[in-house]
Amino acid sequence: MHTTLKVTMLLSAGLALAACNGPRRVQARPIMENGDRTESQDRMIARAAAEGNSGTARLTRSRDSVYTRAVASCRGTICASIVKGEISLGMTPEQAMAATRTSPAAWTVRESRDATVMVPRYLGNSPRDATGEVVMVQFDDKRLNAVSYRETQGIRVVSSASDTTTDGRAKAMADALIREGDQFNAAGDRARALDRYDRALALKADDIMLEYKIATMLDLQLRPVEAQIRYQRFLQELEIEQIEARGDANAKLADAIARAQQRLIVLERQTSVPVPSPDANPAPLPRPAADSTRAPVTPVKVPVDSTKVPVDSLLAHAAAAR
């Protein structure tokens, strides 16, 4: 009897222990079981198509009516611009929409007296014309007087006939690249600054001060041979005889010429001896005149040894001379 009791108790304890470590069965109700059906994709696609078609048809009707009004009132070059898909100065709001192949649904229009401004309704989904992404169109008395594009280097505003030409666009892009280069230079990133100046020079080949900036950047990056070539090119491109010391701009330019000449002498001396290793200190740059803005144009003969000047001040001079 005693033994039976012991066995029973042991068995009970064993069962209890086994139950503690038993499988934790998940009691969640299943949402899908064998035999159920999944929704038909064809029905889903048909529903989406029906929704899309109604919206597209409405937009197309609206766009077509804008086109009709735009083309009915256009003349000459404006008609040609609409066909080519280019916004041009003098267009009406409808013509601008027609040129961008859009309807009023794409724009938020604000009017105040004679001024009208159209901006894209959805950020990141700006309408485009043949030139680029349009971010703002301004009208004066219902005639387009300025259009702004989002370019790689920032916003470009077209508000005159010269801005709309290829040269005007190249000049605006070059200016933006120079600004970017100046920012990199100010941040101490000379490699990127040089890259931007180089790219700007491709668009604005007649900017001699850009050549000077590139020469300076190369000089600072311990690339004496290339710097020397650039300084020489800068000096050659200047018609020195024609420069007269009249006004601040010419005085600054004369200052830059003098500095480039001095630097050229230094670099010629350096390159005649073995080229320094990149970790060597760069050769000192010439010191600017005390009041360089009013400096006479006569070539300044500064001894090479006394040409210790902060680079930033030199660049500031070059930038100011522009």
Provide the minimum distance between the beta carbon of 99 and other proteins in the complex, in angstroms, as a whole number. Answer: 11
What residues line the site for other proteins (CB under 8 A)?
23-26, 28, 30, 32-41, 44-45, 48-49, 51-53, 55-56, 59-60, 63, 100-103, 105-106, 120-122, 124-127
Give the shortest CB-26-to-other proteins separation in angstroms: 5
Rank residues 24 and 113 by Cβ distance to other proteins and give the closer one. 24
The Cα 17–Cα 59 span in angstroms is 72
Single out the residue of 100, 217, 90 nearest to residue 160, CA to CA. 90
Coil, strand or helix at 279: coil
* Nearest distance, CB of residue 11 and other proteins, angstroms: 22
Q: How far apart are CA 46 and CA 53, in angstroms?
A: 10
CB of 267 to other proteins, least distance (A): 43
Residue entry with tokens 């000379």: 190
Q: Which is nearer to other proteins, 52 or 310 (CB)?
A: 52
* CA within 13 Å, CB half, 180: 19
Residue 153's nearest CA partner among 217, 196, 190, 120 is 196
67 or 284: CB nearest other proteins: 67
Location of structure tokens 């990056």 = 221
Q: Among residues 29 and 301, whose Cβ is nearest to other proteins?
A: 29
Tokens of 133: 């992404």
Report the nearest approach of other proteins to the CB of residue 85 (Å): 11
Backbone angles phi, psi at 69, to 5 degrees: -65, -40
Closest CB to other proteins among residues 93, 181:
93
